Amino acid sequence: MTERRSPLFIVTVILLYVFLLAPIVIIVLAAFNSGEYLRFPPEGLSVRWFVKFAQSGPFVRAFWFSLQLAAATTLISTLLGGTAAFYVIRHAGRLRDALRLLVVSPLQLPAILTGIALLIFFYGTGIGTRGMRALLFGHTLVSLPYVFLTISTVLIGFDKSLEEAARSLGAGPFTTFRRVTLPLIKGGVISGALFAFITSFDQFPISLLLVSVGNTTLPLQLFDYLRFSFDPTAAAVSTISVLMSVGIVVLIHKLVGLESIAWGGPR
């Protein structure tokens, strides 16, 4: 049962959504606009900025580097976050709250502060920031909490009697995990992985501090570019990034439902 809302309230909500979506929609429009600037009235459709992006060395290199970095981050943070979620939800006992707080803490600490701490640490220990290593550790640190929270959410709603049934029918712990548990929590694991991927792909403050000469990520490249020019090549790059984010939101919704992620997680 729903009540009628006042027209004023409905208009307010629509305007708020317009505010929220306007800068994102405008990027897509600018990317497909044929002119150098978005003019009023608009000038016509074109894909020339996408072609220019594909021909631009720095952007393409940064794009591939970001993809590789995000893929590696996803793999490691899903393994680490997944095992942590299993332990904290199923086995932690009295330490449960303390451990949860620790694993989620990178989310609460300001990313820029974490980046500074890691920068000083990497130089001090001689690990350095050469190559992808430093970025990989930094990105994994901030992606880990998302994986942990998402997988925890599905584990809390998990019916343990299914595992007990498999065990009583003679399956070993590993077979039970592979054939019963994993298929049932698959949606949560994939959603967590998707969160990790997009967190890494969009990461800015940590990357800024840990990036090394020669390897720049896409957000950093975009940032440098925007400080000096407004050429819509940047809009084409951004559009690809927007489409990725939208695709991931839709996927996560299909897999576990956005509502369970938005307020069903362990608090």
Partner 1 sequence: MRRHWLILPVLLFLVVFLIIPYVNMVRMSFLVKPQGVPYINVFTLGNYAKVLSDGFYWAILRNTFWYAILTTAITLVMGYPLAYAIARAPNRRRPLLLMLLIAPLLVGVVVRSYGWLILLGRVGLVNEMLRYFRRGEVALMYNELGMIIGLVHVFMPFMALSIAGALQTISPDVERAARSLGASPWKAFWRVTWPLSLPGVFAGMLLVFVLSVSSYVIPILLGGNNVLVIPMLVVQLLLDAYNWPVGSALAMVFFGLTALLLWVYVKIMNRSLRWSVR
Tell me whether residue 137 or residue 158 sits nearer to partner 1 (CB atom): 137
Nearest one of 252, 238, 156, 154 to 196, comparing CA atoms? 252
Helix (H) or strand (E) holding 158: none
Is 236 a binding residue for partner 1 by CB under 8 A? The answer is no
Q: Is the peptide bond before 41 cis (omega within 30 degrees of 0)?
A: yes
User: CA quadruple 12, 16, 22, 25: dihedral positive or negative?
Assistant: negative
Is 162 a binding residue for partner 1 by CB under 8 A? The answer is no
Which of 48-56, 105-113, 157-165, 177-185 is the region at the interface with partner 1 (rule: CB under 8 A)?
Answer: 105-113
Residues 127-146 that bind partner 1 (CB under 8 A): 137-138, 140-141, 144
Q: Which 8-state DSSP code applies to residue 155?
A: H
Is 257 a binding residue for partner 1 by CB under 8 A? The answer is yes
Is 19 a binding residue for partner 1 by CB under 8 A? The answer is yes
Number of CB atoms found within 10 A of residue 174's CB: 8
Residues 171-200 that bind partner 1 (CB under 8 A): 198
Q: What is the C-alpha radius of gyration for the chain, rounded to an integer number of angstroms?
A: 22
Tell me whether residue 59 or residue 201 sits nearer to partner 1 (CB atom): 201
Q: Which residue in 45, 57, 94, 108 binds partner 1 (CB under 8 A)?
A: 108
Tell me whether residue 17 or residue 64 sits nearer to partner 1 (CB atom): 17
